[in-house]
Amino acid sequence: MSSQNQALAEAFKSIREFLTVQQIRLNILEKRTNQKINRIENISENLKQQLIKFDVVHQKQIEDLKQGHFDVLEGLKNLEVQGESRFNLFETQIKNLEQGQKRFDDLEQKIKELEQGQIAIINERLNHFEPILLRFGDLETKLKNTELITQKMAKFLPNAIREATIQQSNQKTTSFKYEKTGLADSLQEPVEHCLRQSVREDTSFFADILFPVMGPAIRKSINESLKNIVQSINKTAELSISPRGLAWRVQAWRSGQSFSEIVLQKTLLYRVEQVFLIHRETGLLIQHLHQEGVEIGDSDAVSAMFTAIQDFILDSFSSSKTEELNSVEIGDYTVWLERGPYATLACVIRGAAPPNFRDLMHVMLETLHAHYGLLLKKFDGDSQPLEPCLPLLEQTLQSEAKPDAKSSRFFSIPLIGILSVLLLTLLGWGYFNFEYQQRLTNYINALQKTPGIVVVSTKYQDGKFIIFGMRDPLSAEPQKMIQHYELSDDVETFWTPYQDLTPQFVVQRVHQQLVLPSTVSIHLQDHILYLKGYASQDWINKAQALQIAGVHKVVIDELFETDQFLLTLAQLELAPPESVTMTVQKRILQIAGNVDSSTFKALQEGIENLPKSSEEFAGFEMSGLKDVEREMGDVIKYIEKTRLYFYQGTTELMPDQKKTKQALQKSAQKLLVLTQILHKPIQILMIGSTDGTGSKHRNQQLSQQRAEWVFNWLQSFGIEKRLMIITSPALIRFNENEPNPNDRNVSFEIKD
């Protein structure tokens, strides 16, 4: 049906095009006919007016003849001859018009025959397409009948849904359970929309439906929560009041660690506290999970650290560049790493995990690649498409308690009393020492978190706490931090200078060494320094020769020399034509060339908008830019005002016209040069004039001769013939009684 509709549309289109062409032809023919009729009428009217004028003149000449004017009689004879010749000419034109009318009638007959033939063809095509139009109308009616379409869809839609469900159930069991099925994906949004709308309209209906389910679920959740709280309270009481708990508190106080850390060390065999899924190629973090209550830092920075450590080992210790880091020891934590083709799985473990846990990590990584391999390969930093990985990753957050940590609770009231008295005695003695240790611990933690400072070791010696470490000179001053924690009398520090290669310190050293101008920005990535902006050539050379720790390469692809950058900026902002050249020297923009008036004005306005400051354009030089169109207008005005004066009755110039001739010659040559620049051809009209003495024929001949003299004279100086036109004045003076010498001249007029 679609092919029939297309054929029908093409047929109608061809018919419309044919009718349009015929209509255009008829309009053109009608227009030409009207023009010829108008010309016939105008010629007839002119003929009548000429005949009337001829009769009047003829009558007047006869009257003058009667009065004895012989010269007038001769003129009358000439006028009669002219009138007869004009009358003969009019008769010839009328005959030609009659022949044109006959041709027009023949053409009109041919057009009628052509129209009849085309109309027959159109009728034949219409008869052919009439049944197709009927079928097309029926189809359009059915398509617009939404009720009929709905009835038909109601018949096959349930079967389609049933078939989609069967196909989904027959799929292989290897498909991952968290992936959306085709049917579920299609129905999810409309079903959710319907549920939201229904709940919004009547919440009581859904409350009644969910009542039998929600009640038991809520009660079960509350019971589980209370059970966990009771277990937590029992565990805390056991660990706090038992001898073992008191011993752990003493150990925490002596070591400076928190009580919770000691408890974890004593009660847990191992616990996976954090899990990182890292993109292998880029080192970007894909997903991150952690145990509740675990303090976490910047997960992206941790991910980058793992990648940096691996790169460091490959660069420093690996000969074949194929060895990979499997584990990292960080204080009380061990980081196990397993790598796949597209992702790395890193688990942060407290304690000693069993060897089979690495097998679990390997299996988990294989499962992730099996179900999400394409997403992992094309990962670009957006972790949302890989959120279905979280349920799998949660399986790695495992823990196992020590066997002795599972023993029954020891609870003795007499022992509690004895230990409480002992604890109060010890608290009185250890309060100040605890407060000192707390400040000292906070100070060390602050040092470790300060960029550019690395604490290597600490020790007590001669009643003082001594800290050894390394410090970048650009980092914060440790002595001020000691004063902040009120430890200046009890702490001594010894720092070995070193250069921290983190980006913030490398960038600071670049600023110090290069003294960046305000027009240059820098960006450090992967030890590559990218410079962007513009500066002087000396500064660019200095930047290229930069040697600084932490910078392996300097890229200046987007760094331009100041004059070059300003020239590019000017070209982009002004967009000059090809006839204009621009240069920048010492931040001064120089513009030269020949342009028309509109371009000249546009360039002036554009230059006003260019930035002008101590770092940008210092000035603008436009003396070389010429408004050729305005200059051409001035030359034209000068030429049209120029007059060359002649002796009476001759083609010889007056003696005082020498300077005028030279100026006219130069102006004409300059005008031709300007027209070539603007590609604007012109013509110089030369109009000879006389003072009117003598007959009309003599004056007309003299005016022509004077213009021809000027024509030949300008041609001898290289002015081409095709650029000059000799024309007669609008009025030929003759039989003047008082001639005016100023009328004996040749004037000029410029035409486009």
pLDDT at 638: 92
For residues 556 and 553, give the distance between their C-alpha atoms in angstroms, rounded to a whole number: 10
Rg, Å, the chain Cα set? 53
pLDDT at 177: 39
Q: Measure the CA angle with vertex 34, ends 29 and 37; round to 5°.
A: 125
Within a 13 Å sphere around the CA of 572, how many CA atoms are in the beta-carbon half? 6
Asked whether 485 and 439 are in contact (CB, 8 A), the reply is yes
- Structure-token match 């560049």, residue found: 321
Asked whether 624 and 595 are in contact (CB, 8 A), the reply is no
Quickly count helices (H) and strands (E) in the chain. Answer: 19, 19
Beta strand pairing status for 683-688 and 724-727?
Answer: parallel
* Cβ contacts of 58 within 8 Å, gap of 6 or more: 76, 79, 80, 83
Beta strand pairing status for 343-351 and 268-279?
Answer: antiparallel
User: Phi and psi at residue 271, in whole multiples of 5°?
Assistant: -150, 130
User: Phi and psi at residue 486, in whole multiples of 5°?
Assistant: 55, 50
For residues 296 and 290, give the distance between their C-alpha atoms in angstroms, rounded to a whole number: 8
**Tokens matching residue 63:** 């009257």
Counting beta carbons within 10 angstroms of the beta carbon of residue 500, is it exposed (0 to 12), middle (13 to 18) or buried (19 or more)?
Answer: buried
In eight-state DSSP terms, residue 32 is H
For residues 430 and 433, give the distance between their C-alpha atoms in angstroms, rounded to a whole number: 5
Beta strand pairing status for 683-688 and 745-751?
Answer: antiparallel
3-state helix, strand, coil in the chain (%, to 5): 60, 20, 20
Low-confidence ranges of the chain (pLDDT < 50): 1, 69-70, 72-73, 76, 172-180, 226, 229-230, 233-234, 237-238, 405-411
CATH annotation of 257-406: 3.30.450.70
**CATH architecture type of domain 642-751:** 2-Layer Sandwich (3.30)
pLDDT at 710: 92
pLDDT at 25: 66
Comparing CA positions, the residue from 547, 544, 528 lying closest to residue 536 is 544
For residues 646 and 742, give the distance between their C-alpha atoms in angstroms, rounded to a whole number: 9
Rounded to 10°, the helix 503-514/537-544 angle is 140
DSSP 296-335: ---HHHHHHHHHHHHHHHHHHT-SSS-----EEEETTEEE
Q: Which residue ranges make up each domain of the chain? A: 2-146, 213-250, 257-406, 413-497, 504-628, 642-751
For residues 514 and 509, give the distance between their C-alpha atoms in angstroms, rounded to a whole number: 8
In eight-state DSSP terms, residue 272 is E
Asked whether 589 and 607 are in contact (CB, 8 A), the reply is yes
Asked whether 1 and 143 are in contact (CB, 8 A), the reply is no
Gap between the terminal Cα atoms of the chain: 62
User: Phi and psi at residue 242, in whole multiples of 5°?
Assistant: -70, 155
**CATH architecture type of domain 413-497:** 2-Layer Sandwich (3.30)
**Torsion sign, CA atoms 105, 111, 114, 119:** negative
Cα–Cα separations (whole angstroms), residue 307 to 148, 329, 396: 64, 15, 21
* Cβ contacts of 134 within 8 Å, gap of 6 or more: none
Asked whether 86 and 65 are in contact (CB, 8 A), the reply is no
Rounded-to-10 torsion of CA 272, 278, 284, 286:
-80
pLDDT at 410: 44
Asked whether 486 and 451 are in contact (CB, 8 A), the reply is no
Cα–Cα separations (whole angstroms), residue 500 to 109, 308, 510, 550: 101, 15, 13, 8
Cα–Cα separations (whole angstroms), residue 99 to 92, 102, 201, 610: 11, 5, 89, 71
* Cβ contacts of 520 within 8 Å, gap of 6 or more: 531, 532, 533, 534, 535, 539, 559
> DSSP H helical segments within 679-738, as ranges?
696-715
- Structure-token match 């109060």, residue found: 424
